[in-house]
Structure 1
Amino acid sequence: MTADKKWLFTLFFAAFISLVIFISSSICGLSSNTFTSSNKPYSAVHRGRGYPPAFAYYISGTRGDVERVFRLLLAVYHPRNRYLLHIGTDGSDEERRKLSALVKSVPAIRAFENVDVVGKPDANTYMGSSNIAAVLRAAAIFLKVDSDWDWFVTLSAMDYPLLTQDDLSHAFSSISRDANFIDHTSDLGWKEDQRILPIVVDPGLYLARRTQIFRATEKRKMPDAFRVFTGSPWVILSRSFLEYCIFAWDNLPRTLLMYVNNVVLAQEVYFHTVICNSPEFKNTTINADLRYMVWDNPPKMEPLFLNKSNYDEMVQSGAAFARQFGKNDAVLDMVDSKILKRSGNRPAPGAWCTARRSWFVDPCSQWGDVNVLRPGNQVKKFEESLKNIVDDSILESNQCK
């Protein structure tokens, strides 16, 4: 082995060890501001079979995203769900304290204690593997803090919902709770040469400051021990599949974690490849990410920013979420007003909100039975879209092709 190759091997091995340590510390570093309150809920939260589904939302942002993360939290808030908010290492401790203060200003959140802010942040190097490490850490935290939820949803500060949580939970009540929404394909095309074969090292795994990924001059061969899949980085995953990824009762998730450690966009490869190479879970895939996005042609790294001109098509798309939005774009106000019925620093109201509706009273400052849903008009389009997507998956004997 030449000196250069020895150096590369040492560097890659060190990066992988850093990745393992990064995820193993997953239960540490939640905000010291634990959301306790003497205002205990008047309604008990019941989860599991026979009750509406519950979601675990991981909402991530970077420096300057505090208000956007908080607004997104309010847009998707429901007492039955769990939430983990994360401002990456490029944000300041002051921003994290501000986010914690905003969260604690909401009466329902103080009462139900179902929102946490990550106090010890992770790097969010979009191009490298530290991103998937942060997502796995979030999943591990959810499983430790409160594992009584059905689906794990990844959102960023540039996302926004297109329906209420009553709508989403009502629609998901009709499908198997083992379903995993992962947009995936094994037809790698140009991605094979530009994203899979190149060898990179993500310094976000071992450096305090965010820097660009390192690229090796050589490329590696495609593996023959497993088949690589790729697709959308935005996923909605079942609790059972995430338990498999975290606890890994066979070695596949760990093996693939080592492999994607040196992949350019690990979040577009990891879950897709794990699930499609797992005999236990490969037939639980629904080939969709339930997102509305508009792309350049040919597509770039991120979709185009959405605005008011996209509103009608966005609403008619039958998607659950859309991205990406500029900060406080007017189209978000349209979604709040017309779909979510939300205003100011208040949660989107649902059947659980019982306070009198007025411009100066938060309807969710009081609540009744949080296990009751009241879906709105937007749910019809989403239910139709969801049914078509699920039916198409059932027709396929094996989604992972």
Structure 2
Amino acid sequence: MREMKKSLKAFLTLRHQQQQQQHSSPNLPQQHPQPPINMEYRKYFLILAVGSTFSVVLFFLTTLSSPDAGLFSFLSPSSTSSSSSSIFVESKLKISSSSLSSTPRIAYLISGSIGDGDMLKRTLMALYHPNNQYVVHLDLEAPSTERLGVRRYVEGHPVFRAVGNVRMITRANLVTYRGPTMVANTLHAAAILLREGGEWDWFINLSASDYPLVRQDGINSRFADPFEPSAADEGVRGIRGDIHFISWDNPPKQHPHYLTLRDMSAMVDSNAPFARKFHPDDPVLDKIDAELLFRKPRMLAPGGWCAGQSINGSDPCSIVGNATLLKPGHGAVRLQRLMELLLSKENFRPRQCK
């Protein structure tokens, strides 16, 4: 910044001297600038251009990493507000990495569009675990009232507020779901998680139309030691295998059809930890809550971390206990079968990402 000021001052001084020379000899024909002066102009312009570009890039990266900033919020005057005044992390409970070394931490992005606000909140409640990290986002297609409703829900939930592991991208991004904007939105969420989400081991990208078929204790337990280190260390290798149950039309069209009660058996038999997609408040969601997640209406999905009691309809998960205590259940067994299938000799090599 100091070099930019010096260059700007020198440029203005040179320009002022040239104007004085022109005013002192008004009757003389205008002379073309000498080549040395042109070289000086180019030097100062080059320094200014490089310095300005570097400053804009730094400002963009700083803005992009804030949950209150959109992908292009550096063009908005309101983006100059301090990013330190986050309304979602009033009192963070930092959990030491040493105590969680054997318990994996999953970072989730849950995205939605117009009309997905209620379903996004339901998916978040079914996925929640105090050991994980969450970023939620409603794109620009959603009306401001819907985004405000999700924002108030996130900041007002007592568990989310106490643990401080749920964040919302309050300045909505434009997501077309066919172009690079979807990738940009995912990178935006990943930047927030890397900057503010502490340490985490796995990243899972979901939409508001997704719903878990396995409790978080089951998913976390299977991700603790899912495969041999020589086969596929996290972040080193990958396989092309979807962990969602999706029912496509035959012949397949662009979008899957909505799942109903008729698909319940197929979802369970698939051993997948997630399914897509559902109508909001479809009865099949209530069946999944009751039989697979053991989640009661308007409550968090229970796990080993829940330290409260179910008295007079109270949520036992309203009190956070030991976040490293896992009670996997039958869902973890189904997920283990899927992992063994995907990582078997018959499937791993042919599906391995090159």
**TM-score range with shorter-chain normalisation?**
0.7 to 0.9
By how many angstroms is 1:35 displaced? 2.1
AA in 2 matched with 1:387: E
Q: In the alignment, is residue 95 of structure 1 matched against residue 143 of structure 2? A: no
- Name the residue aligned to 1:84: 135
- Name the residue aligned to 2:349: 396
For 1:73, what is the secondary structure of its paired residue? helix
Give deviations 1:1-38, integer Å, cap 9, x for gaps: xxxxxxxxxxxxxxxxxxx9998442134286522456
Q: In the alignment, is residue 383 of structure 1 matched against residue 341 of structure 2? A: no
By how many angstroms is 1:125 displaced? 0.2
Paired positions, count: 282
By how many angstroms is 1:344 displaced? 2.3
Overall identity of the aligned pairs, in %? 34
Bigger strand fraction: 1
Shift in CA distance, 29/368, structure 1 to aligned 2, threshold 3 Å = closer
Give distance in 1, aligned partners of 2:269 and 2:339: 13
| Runs of at least 5 residues in structure 2 that lack an aligned partner in the other structure | 1-56, 70-84
Scaled by the length of structure 2, the TM-score of the pair is 0.72
Q: For the Cα contact (< 8 Å) 1:26–1:138, is it kept in 2?
A: no
Q: In the alignment, is residue 316 of structure 1 matched against residue 269 of structure 2? A: yes
For 1:285, what is the secondary structure of its paired residue? coil
Structure 2 matches for 1:2-401, cutoff 5 A?
A: 24=61, 25-30=63-68, 34-37=87-90, 44=95, 46=97, 50-175=101-226, 240=235, 281=236, 284-358=237-311, 360-392=313-345, 396=349, 399-400=352-353
Q: For the Cα contact (< 8 Å) 2:239–2:351, is it kept in 1?
A: no
Q: Which has the higher contact order (CA 8 A, sep 6+)?
A: 1
AA in 2 matched with 1:117: M
Shift in CA distance, 49/36, structure 1 to aligned 2, threshold 3 Å = closer
- Name the residue aligned to 1:202: none
Shift in CA distance, 379/387, structure 1 to aligned 2, threshold 3 Å = same
By how many angstroms is 1:362 displaced? 0.5
AA in 1 matched with 2:224: S
Q: For the Cα contact (< 8 Å) 1:290–1:321, is it kept in 2?
A: yes
By how many angstroms is 1:397 displaced? 8.2
| Runs of at least 5 residues in structure 1 that lack an aligned partner in the other structure | 1-19, 182-236, 241-280
Scaled by the length of structure 1, the TM-score of the pair is 0.64
For 2:108, what is the secondary structure of its paired residue? strand
Shift in CA distance, 44/313, structure 1 to aligned 2, threshold 3 Å = same
Greater CA radius of gyration, 1 or 2? 2
Bigger helix fraction: 2
Q: For the Cα contact (< 8 Å) 1:45–1:371, is it kept in 2?
A: no
More displaced 10-residue stretch of structure 1: 305-314 or 127-136: 127-136
Q: For the Cα contact (< 8 Å) 1:57–1:83, is it kept in 2?
A: yes
Give the root-mean-square deviation of aligned CA atoms.
Answer: 3.0
AA in 2 matched with 1:27: S
AA in 1 matched with 2:318: S
For 2:173, what is the secondary structure of its paired residue? coil
